[in-house]
Amino acid sequence: MIQLNKGGVDFIVNNSTAELDNFWTHIYPIHWENQTFDARLPHLSKDKTFIDIGAWQGPISLVAQK
């Protein structure tokens, strides 16, 4: 279990693999698609639908769903 914060949103990644642990703990919090978060997150709301095409492990969806 890895606790993270991205874009002011706290969430937990469960069942990460050793291969992905480096991504979640070192790359994602600091470097992962910051421009995408800056461009998209201000436009999200509960009355809109967010679709993350090609979500991979869901690094953007995890924040968008909050």
Q: Mapping DSSP to helix (H, G, I), strand (E, B) and coil, where does residue 19 land? A: helix
Tens-place pLDDT, residues 11-59: 888 877 888 888 888 888 888 888 888 888 888 888 989 888 888 888 8
The one-character DSSP state at 48 is S
pLDDT of residue 6: 86
Q: What is the token pair recorded at 30?
A: 């600091």
DSSP-assigned beta bridge partners for residue 32: none
Residue whose C-alpha is closest to residue 8's, from 34, 26, 18, 49: 34
CA distance linking residue 42 with residue 60, whole number of Å: 13
pTM of the entire predicted model: 0.66
